[in-house]
Amino acid sequence: MRSRRRIRDKVTNPLDRSLGDMRNEKEDDMVIEEAELEELDELEQLGAHLREAYELSGEPPSLAAIEFAESSASLPERTPAEMARFNAAVRQRIDEALRASTGAPTIGAWVQHARREASLDEAAAARQTGVAVTAYRQFEAGRMPVWGLPAKTFAKFCRGLAIDVSTLLRWASVSALNVRHIAYGRLDVRDEDRSKQLDTLAGESKDQFKAEFDHWRREFIDAYEEPSTNDVPPPR
Amino acid sequence: MNNYSNDDQLADAVQQGEIAAQEDFFNRFQVTLIKFAIKKGFSREDAEDLAQETLAVGFRTIASFRRGERIVRWLAGIEVNFMRRRWAAQSRDEVLDESTETAASMWLYQEQAYLAARTLSPEEMKERARLWADTQLYMSLAPNQVHMKVVQLFYLDNLTYAEIEATLGLAKDTAKVYKQRGLKYLKKMHDAKPPQDP
């Protein structure tokens, strides 16, 4: 019982240790005893096994290792333009990966594939989605963005086709930002004022677009999660 | 820039396709991931590439992020897997020389451990799994946490002595002694027989 208490006291000790205590401790520890030298190999082997065990555990790196890298690796301050380029490159990779995993070049083509699997024709799809057949064709051909469709009716249509809504929304958000960056993202090299105006215009346009997209997205999610009139209530 | 008070909120928002969350997700972690790769010996160009690769996979697989944990650790785990692939693809002619103690050589150490771990027998794998589970417990209970920090930084985080000195302010010789003391404590705990029921 006494030894247990002593161990518990020791556990809390490191937190209370002052710098002076730590310095003293270092001095005490500077001398390696003979006995310790003899068991060096054994201890190193334990360390090596520990490293292997940690590797095998699949544990992600510790927070300490990440924070150490963050504080010690040198990287020049990143400009907003660098960050924007980096983000655009990430979105490009996501887009490519989504194309590969769905086997479709656009969201429209992906939905088209699901529609065909369900043996649904374009006219029925357009009717269910609440748009004209020509407009629906434009969507499937990748010439109209998904957020151009009415959110509520399209959400119900997607539910009917059992489309993975999380993938659809993330793909839409990635495509949306890729499209918007092209709109005003340029500079007028001869006129600084004009460059600033374009910059402001781009910022305002982006904010407005984000708000519109977000509104569409929320409407879509609400409609997708809404119970369908065809849903049969669970038996009591 | 930071609109989400915790990682779970951010992950949920990314999963639901929120544009602001997507931007926050990329902006918040890009520098950390780039620096983490640079610290592991990758060039700036490769580090940018690894960070982009990691964020792209993180974005696509955000549903698998276990809520309650830290996104930055989860992403760093993905990045380490990409690093391993690159190391595995590189030439193995380079001889590991611990005396140089560069970050790259320490990273090679980790790679060696990883490769060695892949060739273990099922019994050895089981033994290592037990070793890791017990070590986590013993480390948290250790009476001298400074010794444990040195063991962690050296063997698990693969920091060099110079880096340990920069982090904990311990001279190389002191860190060596602390590492040894830490291992000695762990060995004692591992060797100890579990208490017998009366």
**CATH number of the CATH domain containing B179:** 1.10.10
With respect to residue B183, please indicate whether it lies within any of the assigned structural domains. Answer: yes
Distance from CA of B46 to the nearest CA of A (A): 13
With respect to residue A204, please indicate whether it lies within any of the assigned structural domains. Answer: yes
Instruction: State which of B90, B105, B137 marks the end of a domain.
Output: B90
Task: Note whether A53 contacts B135, CB cutoff 8 Å.
Answer: yes
| Span A196-231, pLDDT tens digits | 665 666 666 778 888 899 999 999 999 998 876 655
Domain residue limits at A110: 80-225
Q: Which residues of A touch B180 (CB under 8 A)?
A: 32, 36, 40, 43
Contacts with B166 (C-beta within 8 Å, 6 or more apart), sequence order = A72
Q: Which residues of B touch A62 (CB under 8 A)?
A: 73, 152, 156-157
With respect to residue A43, please indicate whether it lies within any of the assigned structural domains. Answer: no
With respect to residue A155, please indicate whether it lies within any of the assigned structural domains. Answer: yes
Distance from CA of B42 to the nearest CA of A (A): 11
DSSP structural state of residue B69:
S
* Mean of pLDDT values over A55-69: 87
Structurally, chain A folds into a number of domains equal to 1
Interface test with B, best of A82, A173, A217 (most B CBs within 10 A): A173
Domain residue limits at B27: 1-90
Pick from B22, B72, B158: CB nearest A66:
B72
- The ipTM estimated for the assembled molecules is 0.80
Instruction: State which of B74, B90, B106 marks the end of a domain.
Output: B90
Assess whether B44 and B126 both reside in one domain: no
Q: How many residues does chain B have?
A: 198
Pick from A43, A70, A72: CB nearest B180:
A43
With respect to residue B116, please indicate whether it lies within any of the assigned structural domains. Answer: no
Distance from CA of A69 to the nearest CA of B (A): 5
With respect to residue A139, please indicate whether it lies within any of the assigned structural domains. Answer: yes
For residue A177, give the nearest of A94, A112, A73, A71 by alpha carbon.
A94
Q: How many Å separate Cα B93 from the centre of its chain?
A: 25
User: Around Cβ B88, how many Cβ atoms within 10 Å?
Assistant: 11
Assess whether B84 and B129 both reside in one domain: no
| pLDDT digit string (tens) for chain B, length 198 residues | 457 889 999 999 999 999 999 999 999 999 999 999 998 888 999 999 999 999 999 999 999 999 999 999 999 999 998 987 787 666 444 434 444 444 455 556 666 666 666 678 888 888 888 999 999 999 999 999 999 999 999 998 888 898 888 888 899 999 999 999 999 999 999 988 665 554
CATH of the domain at B27: 1.10.1740.10
Assess whether B130 and B85 both reside in one domain: no
| Span A134-156, pLDDT tens digits | 999 999 999 999 999 999 999 99
Pick from A50, A56, A170: CB nearest B155:
A50
Distance, in Å, from the CA atom of A21 to the CA atom of A98, rounded to the nearest integer, reads 57
Assess whether B9 and B80 both reside in one domain: yes
Assess whether B83 and B150 both reside in one domain: no
Structurally, chain B folds into a number of domains equal to 2
Distance from CA of A190 to the nearest CA of B (A): 31
* Minimum CA–CA partner of A26 in chain B: B174
With respect to residue A182, please indicate whether it lies within any of the assigned structural domains. Answer: yes
Contacts with B162 (C-beta within 8 Å, 6 or more apart), sequence order = B101, B172
